[in-house]
Amino acid sequence: MKKYFDQHGGLILLEKIKSNQGFGFTIFTKQQVEQATNNFDNVNILGYGGQGTVYKGILSDQIVAIKKCKIVDENKKKEFGKEMLILSQINHKNIVKLLGCCLEVEVPMLVYEFISNGTLFDYINNKRQESHISLTTRLRIAQESAEALAYLHSSASPPIFHGDVKSTNILLDQNYMAKVSDFGASILAPTDEAQMVTLVQGTCGYLDPEYLQSCKLTDKSDVYSFGVVLLELVTGKPVIDFNAPEEEKGLSSRFLTAMKEKKLNELLDDEIKSEDNMEVIMEVAILAKECLNMTGEERPTMKQVADELERIRKLKQHPWEQAYHPEEIESLLGGPSHHIEIEHIGSFGLEKKAEKVIAVGR
């Protein structure tokens, strides 16, 4: 056990903890995490992921989530302690707090705060509640998640790229506030490019096309994946539909086709489809389309996405401040149309370029 502890940089962590009394991070023993999870009993499993299994546990009378990882990069074992120091200092209300780790095992285990209301994926799919989810709530969760990712990209030092943004990695607390989780997943993934070809970080349906080609994770990889989460929020549909034709299996492909053909209305979640919501939904759709740009450089940053979602939320709350004509929204969504030309100016675009949508009448 001492061998593993030393390999993972445990001494560096210990020195930091001893020298800084206010350092809110704990190194747990193997015995502690085994007792906390009743020796990793299956009844305590909270969920499975590509990087490992998450268990519910009790440590020092506190309910926690313990991630038992599958792999660790051999070349980075000595750096693990340093990386834990970086991740442990992340403090954001919309990011799950990393409380500590266990290093006395071959693959380190991570200990996070426990978030009680499950995942955004479950919430969208009505697995954990009976009432419908309003557009207002969906927009709030989207903005909170975007703010968390923007913090990781812009305020963390050094910047952290999530690498696996998806609705199952966005948790909801007792007040249904969004909490981005698994933000340390990428540090446990292999970084050797030869390995990365076979062990691609991320999840099918959310993966940045550029990343699939280069195997280089960037901040814009997270932006692409977040664009897919936006689609889940407004459509309520699965990211991959295995029963659909090949070209329509991916939600992003179906969405881009629907936008092109002015048939977005057919994809939207019935729970939020209403005349009052259409303008706001179209704003979210245009933002999602920018996030899903095939070229990373042309996507907005997560900070720009968060700012745009804040603007859209204000538009939802005070629609009279920024109103569109109903016939314009109808044409974009495939409803009754007129021969019009619309020019939408995005407030977040790198060049604030206009997106023209031509709607031809019957």
Residues involved in catalysis:
164
Other residues' Cβ atoms within 10 Å of the Cβ of residue 353: 10
Closest CA to 280 of 66, 93, 86, 135: 135
The answer to whether the Cα torsion of 267, 271, 274, 276 is positive or negative is negative
Structure tokens of 299?
A: 């996507």
DSSP string over 34-51 = HHHTTTT-GGGEEEE-SS
Phi-psi region of 330 (alpha: psi -120 to 50; beta: other; left: phi over 0): alpha
Structure tokens of 362?
A: 């019957």
Cα 86 from Cα 66, distance rounded (Å): 19
CA 21, distance to chain mean position in Å, is: 33
Contact between 233 and 142 under an 8 Å Cβ cutoff? The reply is: yes
Contact between 232 and 124 under an 8 Å Cβ cutoff? The reply is: yes
Please name the residue that has the structure tokens 């019957």.
Answer: 362
Query: Cα 185–187–189 angle (5° rounding)?
Result: 75
Cα 7 from Cα 78, distance rounded (Å): 6
Structure tokens of 32?
A: 């502690």
Structure tokens of 100?
A: 């500590």
Looking at residue 320, the DSSP 8-state letter turns out to be G
Closest CA to 101 of 114, 92, 88, 115: 88
Please name the residue that has the structure tokens 């907005």.
Answer: 300
